[in-house]
Amino acid sequence: MPLLLQPIITSKIPGTCFFRYLFPGIQAIPRRPLLIQMPESVRNKGFEIILELKEKSGDFTYGASINGSVFNNTVTSLEMGNKPIDYAFSRTEVGKPIGYFRGYVVEGVFQSDFWVKSHVTPEGEPIQPYAQVGDFKFKDLNGDGKIDGQ
């Protein structure tokens, strides 16, 4: 698989380079009975830095190093018409990171029966009808009175 590395800035500090790279042509993996769809191309941006110390004192040689990195990836195209790929708790779609996590937004934990009974729609219908004290309180993201991830 070709890797296109595009250096943006090269540093005079050994082991340091700011770059972005592109993975073109990642193919779908045929399996029976499913076809696992993969991103066709992904853009990665970030940097990695390594700082090293090497010293010698007589016959004794020692060294220390520390490294760190920050990377962000973005799917630039998907196979099969750029249709999003959904997994149990993650999703891959154009313009977003590979396999970003999705799920419900937790607002807190129900601390009392009063909190459970006050988590209602404007019409007074319970948003989480089976909730009990100690359960997570999920946020209604679009105000429709349903906890459905939308």
Q: pLDDT tens string for the chain (150 positions)?
A: 334 444 444 445 454 444 444 444 444 444 433 445 567 788 888 888 888 888 888 999 988 888 888 888 888 888 777 888 887 778 888 998 888 887 788 899 999 999 999 988 888 889 899 999 999 998 888 888 888 766
In a domain, 14, yes or no: yes
In a domain, 57, yes or no: yes
In a domain, 17, yes or no: yes
**pLDDT for residue 111:** 94
Q: Which two tokens stand for residue 19?
A: 């770059």
Range of the domain at 65: 4-79
Q: Which two tokens stand for residue 60?
A: 């004794």
In a domain, 146, yes or no: no
**pLDDT for residue 29:** 42
**pLDDT for residue 121:** 87
Residue with tokens 């090293």: 52
In a domain, 145, yes or no: no
pTM for the structure as a whole: 0.46
In a domain, 69, yes or no: yes
In a domain, 144, yes or no: no
**pLDDT for residue 114:** 94
Measured in whole angstroms, the distance separating CA 55 from the mean position of its chain's CA atoms is 40
Q: How many domains does the chain have?
A: 1
**pLDDT for residue 30:** 41
